[in-house]
Amino acid sequence: MGLTAKSTWFGKGVAVPSASLAAPQAKTRVRSGNDTREVIESIAFAFILAFILRTFLAEAFVIPTGSMAPTLYGRCKEVTCSQCSHQFAIGASDELNRSNGTLEMRIETATCPNCRFENDVKDRPVFSGDRILVNKWTYELAKPSRWDVVVFKFPEEPETNYIKRLVGLPGEMLRIWRGDIYVRPGLDGEYKIARKDDPNKQRVIQQSVYDDTEAPRVLIDAGWPERWQGVEIPANDVSPADWKEDPAGWKADRKARSFSITGNESQAGKWLRYRHYLPTPEAWNQALDNQPMIFPAKPQLIADFCSYNHYAPMGNGQRGEPDPYWVGDIAVTGKFRLGPDAEGVEKANVIVELTRGVRVYQCVIGTDGFITLRMSDELAGEEAFRQIARSKGPVVATGSWFNLEFANFDQRLCVWINDQLVEFDAETTYAPPVLYGPQLRDLSPVGIFAQGREVDVEELRIFRDIYYRADRDLSDGRAFPDAAVSPTEYSSPGRLAALLSDPLAWGAEYEARAFAAEFPALGADEYFMMGDNSPRSQDARQWSNTRGADRRHAVPESALVGKAFSIFWPHGVPFMNDGKGYAPLPFFYHKVNKAQNPDVENYPRFSIPFYPQWWRWTRIR
């Protein structure tokens, strides 16, 4: 009979001759009644399966606002700066009435974080928020972890879902101080900084400060100083604002945006330093009008500027306040090539340096390819640098280009070479200094030093950490170290922002008038949630307590919906019609209440054709 195949009918195996599989089949009468029933059953099964998946496994959500930016975008506009070509996003949820979704105002301008030019964005396309997938079974198998991005039912309105980052665990007291999160177990012990266990998660949420590949040529050609320069640093303690350019040091190719120095030129040791020159509106007006620069440029401290929030006019009663808080946790990235040592040089070194207050942190690249991390603390009387750790093996090679990132976040130093985290022979965390405030050298917080070695570097970029603001509800958000009547970290942001070019005065003012925030210990199954966009996030710091909970800032474990794990559809990118696409029908446009907003000019809420923004289909970290 030859080979046979097995066919199963109600679980019973029946041997069928293989030849019969190809035999002609007799025509049978179509049973329309049974087919109709099968279709109905299939549809019902699909609905039941979808219900089970949605209830127990995964669910899709749309992000409406920007409280989690830049990790997740709410309704937003994407902007390419007309002066430096830097790409950034701004929140646009303020344009809509939050109760009925009608268009009630138009955002007109947005500030570029790279060059601070005010861009016209009124007619830029608007996009709905990111669409994400949430694992609903994750917390059935394991407890939530700190820094998870979590969807939960808002304790004040359980029918409303919120999405935030989990920062406080059961039983912990929490303190927000100088932009960082500190926790301790209940009333005992000391507060310790809550850093990310995985340093790669930190890279995802860091925010751009300056990208040298996108320098504003119009402004620089008009006389505004370059931020990266080869400089001579005097022996005495002179402000970086007074450092002079070193003509015998690093050579800059301003067109290629690259820097180089030969081994012979660097024998005495030469610095390439970054100074945080922030263009002002007056400087831009002078440059665009071809007028001489009459307002001198002054370097400033790096502050918690968040471009997602900087647009005009502001809606829903929001105020466009300045970002006044100094951020000392920064990172620098660049593309390097190290050449041979100069002849006759006893010690050749290449150093990447980050400063933070009284501390200096260095990443030293030796001629053997090893990396050494070291630090000094002038307040502690450390005249020489002390070693923190050394790489377990050589990580760079002479003559080859490599990407390097050196970061100082959450009292920990990290280095990546070609996007791979470098392993060291010791912990790279450190105890905080006694004095926290900024110093003069924080006006130039990043530098590259070469001695006796040929170096080429390009694609320099600087990033900063998220600054968590110590805002609070006065009912239980206690100020530290003293009682305070203001619910914000500092009551007059404009006054503090005006001192960013004077680090010592800024530090004195902050010490005298700013406060940390402390929150009572969480219960055995409670969590503390905060948004990544701290200036514009309504989170556990400020929630009201109309429900009369013992701890108004706590989210009970029973309210957790699941862990956000993926952006599966960011938004479509329109093309044609100068990148705006087309909106041929009325339903492409917003709804406008003309009786209440007669002067609002309507515009499309989406357009066609478009292609998917595939580069943001990513895992949420």
Active-site positions? Answer: 67, 164
Query: For the CA atoms of 305, 307, 308, 310, what is the dihedral angle to 10 degrees?
Result: 90
Provide the Cα torsion 97, 98, 99, 102; round to 10°: 30
Give the integer Cα–Cα distance in Å for 518 and 182.
Answer: 9
Best CA proximity match to 411, nearest among 385, 377, 440, 382: 377
Nearest to 126 by CA among 600, 617, 577, 571: 571
Contacts of 460 (CB under 8 A, 6+ apart): 212, 213, 228, 257, 259, 274, 332, 333, 334
The position carrying tokens 């500030």 is: 111
N-terminal to C-terminal alpha carbon distance within the chain: 60
What is d(CA 360, CA 75) in angstroms, rounded to the nearest whole number?
41
The contacts of residue 253 (CB under 8 Å, 6+ apart) are 259, 260
Short-list 276, 271, 274, CA closest to 232? 271
Secondary structure in 3-state letters for 381-420: CCCCCEEEEEECCCCCCCCCEEEEEEEEECCEEEEEECCE
- State the amino acid at position 457 in one-letter form: V
Percentage helix, strand, coil for the chain under 3-state DSSP, each rounded to 5: 15, 35, 50
Q: Show Cβ contacts of residue 591 under 8 Å, excluding neighbours closer than 6 positions.
A: 100, 101, 102, 103
**Nearest-CA neighbor of 240 among 298, 304, 303, 302?**
298
Q: Is 203 helix (H, G, I), strand (E, B) or coil?
A: helix
Q: Which residues contact 560 (CB under 8 A, 6 or more apart)?
A: 139, 144, 150, 151, 152, 527
Q: Taking a C-beta distance cutoff of 8 angstroms, is the pair 32, 96 a contact?
A: no
Q: Classify burial at 225, counting beta carbons within 10 Å of its beta carbon; exposed 0-12, middle 13-18, buried 19 or more.
A: middle
Q: Which of 181, 179, 192, 184 is nearest to 522 (CA)?
A: 184
Name the token pair of 252. 């800059």
Enumerate the β-bridge partners of residue 370.
Answer: none
| CB 174 within 8 Å of CB 518 | yes
Looking at the DSSP bridge assignments, the partners of residue 517 are 176, 479
Residues 6+ apart with CB under 8 A from 292: 223, 286
**H/E element, 40:** helix 32-52
